[in-house]
Chains A and B, each alone.
Chain A
Amino acid sequence: MITAGIDMGSRTVKVVFLEELKVDGAPQLRWGVKGKHIMFPEDLDADQAADKAFEDALQAAGLSREQVKKVVATGAGRKQVKFATADVTEVGAGARGAVFMCPTAKTVVDVGAEEGRGVKANAEGKVVDFAGNEKCAAGAGAFAESMSRALQLSLKEFGEASLRSDKTIPMNAQCTVFAESEVVSLIHSATPKEDIAKAVLDAVASRVCAMVRRVGIEDEVILIGGMVHNPGFVQSLKGALGVEKVHLPDMPEYVSALGAALIAAEGTD
């Protein structure tokens, strides 16, 4: 049996298909990823973006719509997914997917484009408590993206550059716009780009860490969301969290879609 999770994020649409694994021909309560797909919509029509992402994902996985028994949507635009059987918040889906990938981790840190959050989950991947950035992007990927533009670096270069720095430059601004002027001041004072990159990522990590502290930090932490692809951010966050076991999944931006697909699977007969 196959189920799907579709994560309508603020920047990208992610689709994951799950297939029930069978051992010696008997169905087991284990699931494997059948296929995944990411799409960067070119326009703001969420209906079309959901449809197109799903069709492309079916094609990539070699599946037909009829083969997918249930679809659960998540993410900021989850209500726009008309063909979904049900929807779940990104908080619940992220926790479910993260604990599935790393059952020993009970603290989930999810940093996407527009939102960062800390989630405390139980052994079943159910949310016990959560905290997120309320209204500004300072604890999220969009902040890092904006600062990389100010430094005229690609996001990849930005993350890598920060790893070359061993300086700690405090950034006081918690607002993206003011932080950009702080970055510009550092550029004018001939601060090396790698030091500025590290300062920015330290600031994001510190803000994310403060949110996670609100729900409590357990011994093992799993990081999910697109920002996990930024090695500089990961290093800064590891330092801020101060825990030894920080798990980095292979497909961090798909974890919420995976969680939604798992929830879909749990709802099937």
Chain B
Amino acid sequence: MSGLFDQFKEWYEKRHDYARAWKSRTGGQVVATMCTYTPEEILIAAGMLPVRVLGAHEPQNVTEPHIFGMFCPFCRDSLAQGLLGRYEYCEGVTLTQSCIQYRQAFNSWRMHVPTVKWDYYLPMPNEVQSRFARAQHYAEVKKFREYMEGVIGKKLPDADLKRGIEIVNENRRLLRELFEYRKETNPRVTGVEALYASITAQFVDKEEHNKELKRVLAELPKRKNDRPEGIRFMTIGSENDDVSFMAMVESVGSTIVIDDQCSGTRYFWNEARVQDDPIATIADRYCERPACPTKDYPAHTRFDHVLKLAKDYNARAAVFLQQKFCDPHEGDYPDLKRHLEANGIPTLFLEFDITNPLGPFRIRIEAFLETLGEEELF
């Protein structure tokens, strides 16, 4: 049963091979997406495979001429993958507005990655709390639909959009079901396994992903977990797919039981509320989802959401995985730290870069575990 999540792991490790194989099997277009606010439902309805761009966590020297060195490492690493030709199979590239650094990475991608045939910038409002936001986003999603109709050369009927919504909603529902297992004492799903499942949802064909999730969910009740639980951690931050870091954390006396990251729960947490109008269904869903700090003002709605996750999943402490130079998350950090600590959740801050120093991070995690006081030395 130890290989229960092997398919997700293989998809993650061979994600480019997977996308190429999908393309050759289906003849469909592959689209590089650069933010989890992208309305994938429309791309799926158009018969495309949305593939979220991820970094490679290896040193690179190709982005300096294009974006500033003090842009967040995830943006730089993502752009590097495009410039290095790793996403050469993608016809299109699209970004839905979140932060300015991501936008610059996207702009550079569409200008300098030669295999790009079309690109689309979706200017979603950042102030989703404004009473005008949903109307504006409705109009933008409608425009995106029209643009995609131009790309595929035919109309996208409502029925196709509704089918796209249904597929993505099912994926969200299944991931939530999987994450429910993490509430258990000594959960039978580790943080690394949950990451493999949620991150692959962002680039694997959703119907195939749903099928695999159902298979895993059917097997899980029989699974016995014999690893020690240790301290239950929550992780907080933007994108994180540093599997070796996650594995290290879970090897020194802890289990990661929940996250507030766009590689995890923020991506799939809320289903779309199905309405008669599919465009309204899609537009509202992205305005209502757990907010990224770029879209969480004037009220900080995510602070209570993060705390609720920590409580619901019985997290003993939280680790901030802060992408260096990520202004939106850095802006939230002091207040969110205070909010969690005032409510009994101690925190640790780690600054992430394209590559992370596992040795020093291990010391910090171990020292943090010592402060939580449950490690028996003798």
Q: Do A and B bind each other?
A: yes
Which residues on the B side are within 8 Å of A127 (C-beta)?
367, 370-371
Which residues on the B side are within 8 Å of A130 (C-beta)?
367, 371
Q: Complex: how many Å from CA A135 to CA B367?
A: 17
Establish whether residues B377 and A72, one from each chain, have CB atoms under 8 Å apart when the complex forms. yes
Which residues on the A side are within 8 Å of B371 (C-beta)?
92, 126-130
> Is residue B351 within 8 Å, beta carbon to beta carbon, of the partner chain?
yes
Establish whether residues B378 and A85, one from each chain, have CB atoms under 8 Å apart when the complex forms. yes
Which residues on the A side are within 8 Å of B363 (C-beta)?
76, 89-91
CB distance from B126 to the nearest CB of A (A): 29
Question: Given A85-B378, A86-B377, A126-B371, is A134 in contact with B351 using a C-beta cutoff of 8 Å?
Answer: yes
Q: Complex: how many Å from CA A86 to CA B359?
A: 18
- Name which residue of chain B comes closest to A128, CB basis: B371
Interface residues on B, range: 10 to 19
Binary per-residue interface labels of chain A (135-161) against chain B in the complex, 1 for a CB within 8 Å, 0 otherwise: 100000000000000000000000000
> Is residue B118 within 8 Å, beta carbon to beta carbon, of the partner chain?
no
> Is residue A261 within 8 Å, beta carbon to beta carbon, of the partner chain?
no
> Is residue A267 within 8 Å, beta carbon to beta carbon, of the partner chain?
yes
Which residues on the B side are within 8 Å of A232 (C-beta)?
none
Which residues on the A side are within 8 Å of B378 (C-beta)?
70, 85-86, 267
CB distance from B366 to the nearest CB of A (A): 5
CB distance from A89 to the nearest CB of B (A): 4
Q: Complex: how many Å from CA A263 to CA B373?
A: 13
Establish whether residues B366 and A135, one from each chain, have CB atoms under 8 Å apart when the complex forms. no
Q: Complex: how many Å from CA A132 to CA B359?
A: 14
Q: Complex: how many Å from CA A130 to CA B371?
A: 9
CB distance from A229 to the nearest CB of B (A): 24
Which residues on the B side are within 8 Å of A90 (C-beta)?
363, 367
> Is residue B357 within 8 Å, beta carbon to beta carbon, of the partner chain?
yes
CB distance from A213 to the nearest CB of B (A): 12
Which residues on the B side are within 8 Å of A129 (C-beta)?
346, 371
Residues of chain A in range 47-100 having any CB-CB distance to chain B below 8 Å: 70, 72, 76, 85-86, 88-92
> Is residue A171 within 8 Å, beta carbon to beta carbon, of the partner chain?
no
> Is residue A131 within 8 Å, beta carbon to beta carbon, of the partner chain?
yes
Given B359, B360, B377, which contacts A88 in the complex, CB threshold below 8 Å?
A: B377
Binary per-residue interface labels of chain B (337-374) against chain A in the complex, 1 for a CB within 8 Å, 0 otherwise: 00000000010010101000101100110110011010
- Name which residue of chain B comes closest to A75, CB basis: B363
Q: Complex: how many Å from CA A208 to CA B27?
A: 58
Question: Given A92-B370, A128-B371, is A267 in contact with B377 using a C-beta cutoff of 8 Å?
Answer: yes
Q: Complex: how many Å from CA A267 to CA B371?
A: 17
Which residues on the A side are within 8 Å of B360 (C-beta)?
134-135
Question: Given A134-B351, A135-B357, is A89 in contact with B367 using a C-beta cutoff of 8 Å?
Answer: yes
CB distance from B81 to the nearest CB of A (A): 23
Q: Complex: how many Å from CA A28 to CA B264?
A: 53
Question: Given A132-B364, A135-B357, A135-B360, is A89 in contact with B349 using a C-beta cutoff of 8 Å?
Answer: no
CB distance from B339 to the nearest CB of A (A): 16
Q: Complex: how many Å from CA A267 to CA B363?
A: 21
Which residues on the B side are within 8 Å of A263 (C-beta)?
377
Centre residue among B346, B353, B366, B370 by max chain A CB count within 10 A:
B370
Q: Complex: how many Å from CA A263 to CA B376?
A: 11
Given A72, A89, A128, A131, which contacts B366 in the complex, CB threshold below 8 Å?
A: A89
Q: Complex: how many Å from CA A129 to CA B359?
A: 20
Q: Complex: how many Å from CA A134 to CA B355?
A: 13
Q: Complex: how many Å from CA A26 to CA B370?
A: 32
Centre residue among A72, A89, A126, A130 by max chain B CB count within 10 A:
A89
Q: Complex: how many Å from CA A129 to CA B368?
A: 8
CB distance from B205 to the nearest CB of A (A): 39
CB distance from B13 to the nearest CB of A (A): 27
Residues of chain A in range 233-269 having any CB-CB distance to chain B below 8 Å: 263, 267
Which residues on the A side are within 8 Å of B349 (C-beta)?
131, 214
Beyond A88-B377, A90-B363, A263-B377: 5 further Cβ-contacts under 8 Å?
A86-B377, A86-B378, A92-B367, A129-B346, A135-B357
Query: Could you write out 23 A-B pairs with CB less than 8 Å apart?
Result: A70-B378, A72-B377, A76-B359, A76-B363, A85-B378, A86-B377, A89-B363, A91-B363, A91-B367, A91-B370, A92-B371, A127-B367, A128-B371, A130-B367, A130-B371, A132-B364, A134-B351, A134-B357, A134-B360, A135-B353, A135-B360, A263-B377, A267-B378
Which A residues are within 8 Å of any B CB, using their own CB? 70, 72, 76, 85-86, 88-92, 126-132, 134-135, 214, 263, 267
Which B residues are within 8 Å of any A CB, using their own CB? 346, 349, 351, 353, 357, 359-360, 363-364, 366-367, 370-371, 373, 377-378
